Amino acid sequence: MSNLGKVLRFLYLSFIVLHIFATTVLAQTERAVLVIDVEGPVTPIMLSFIERAVVEADLRNAEALVIRLNTPGGEIELTKQIVQTMIASEVPIVVYVWPPGGFAASAGTFLTLAGSVAAMAPNTSIGAASPINGTGGDIDETLRAKIENILVADIKGLADRRGEPALEWVQQAITEAKAANATEALELGVIDFVAEDLDDLLAQMDGFTIQLHGETVTFATAEAPVQFLEATAIEELLSVIANPSIALLLISIGSLAIFYEIVNPGGYMSGIVGVILLLVGFYGIGQLPVNYAGLALIILAFGLFIAELFTPTYGALSAGGIAAFVLGGLILFNTNELSYQLPLSSLIGIPLFMALIFGFGLRKVMQAHDLQAITGAEGLIGARGTVKVALDPQGTILIWGERWHAVSTDGDPIAVGEPVKVIERDGFLLKVSRMAH
């Protein structure tokens, strides 16, 4: 055998040994559990984050991807895209409704059932996925039946492995807005575990068997390392903007900034900032299903606040604006796809703050109307001067460093040095009266 052949044989055997060694090491390495936190309404940002997490879990060859979920629901089409992403995942996905006090309402019910494993923390809830119309009320019976039938078919497809009680309940979650707490959901078979925390969940899952793409998978999670996948800075920022309270606050502040630019023109900066805040706020609103009746009421509220400046009604329009804002906020995010209640602090605080600002602006406008003019012809009325040439009845006075012809309105002569007050102006002649010393 030539030297070249010996070298090639050595390299080949070395490759085989390294391959066997690497395979053995990797087989003995414990696969990690990847965990992400998903909170708030279903938005395109949530979809993007979950898609990235699924890809990352596959790249890391993770034991499982745990989605800690807390959502009031959201747009159905986006929810379907997330469900499709979860079902197609090569890594088992565990949906864990968390923290205690959280919920998987409306579309969140679909996301929970789309997981290979479903779990809930104590004092959490799931369900209430009944469709309503865009104003928060009941919809036409025929249309409602069509929507319900589609949603029931979809959710039954996700829950068909969970038994008859679970199938009956998920149908009622659509048709009757049924909801269940963690204990009830476990008894019905809607979920697999009730876990106090993540460690408890992983301990209960150890040895649990599921079917994934036709293959049997048994979890080994008791001692598996846990890795957290955090949202990027951009995802965090967009999530904050898409928060209903923040989006509404940005729109409110933007409106105030533009209002300030209108009443104090020339600076441009407040107008630019206001437009930017409005655009960002409307972007956030655009990520969510919006009740148009609620949006109309909030726009009406802004209109009433502005109208108060130009048609003073001593607070009546501002009071109407506050009422419209509160009513609009109550139903703004209550649609057939999302049921979200703005915090009371936002519902009351934002319109009160805006009413105070507009009220302050109104007060300044009215004060400006009441101020005595200090320049021009009008500024002379009420001004004080000193007699330089006796008024008998006409003479000359000194006012603002200028000499003016003046006539006494008192009928009596006014001596040199006497203080006088301008009562009226007639061209270049001022009518004055004597002032007390």
Residues assigned a catalytic role: 106, 146
Tell me the backbone φ, ψ of residue 97, rounded to 5 degrees.
-70, 115
Sheet of strand 117-120: strand arrangement:
193-194, 117-120, 93-97, 64-70, 33-39, 226-228
Cβ neighbours of 206 (radius 10 Å)? 13
Sheet of strand 125-127: strand arrangement:
103-105, 125-127, 179-181
CA distance 33 to 299: 47
- Tokens 């080949």 correspond to 12
- Write a three-state SS string for 18-87: HHHHHHHHHHHCCCCEEEEEEECCECHHHHHHHHHHHHHHHHCCCCEEEEEEEECEECHHHHHHHHHHHH
Asked if the peptide bond before residue 393 counts as cis, ω within 30 degrees of 0, the response is: yes
CA distance 421 to 70: 75
CA distance 321 to 332: 15
CB 76 within 8 A of CB 337: yes
Q: Is 214 helix (H, G, I), strand (E, B) or coil?
A: coil
CA distance 164 to 148: 19
**Sign of the dihedral defined by the CA atoms of residues 327, 328, 334, 339, in that order:** negative
Mutual orientation of helices 292-310 and 344-370 as an angle, nearest 10°? 20
User: Nearest-CA neighbor of 56 among 18, 12, 91, 11?
Assistant: 91
CA distance 168 to 176: 11
Element (H, E) at 437: none
- Take residue 236 and report the two structure tokens written for it: 């965090």
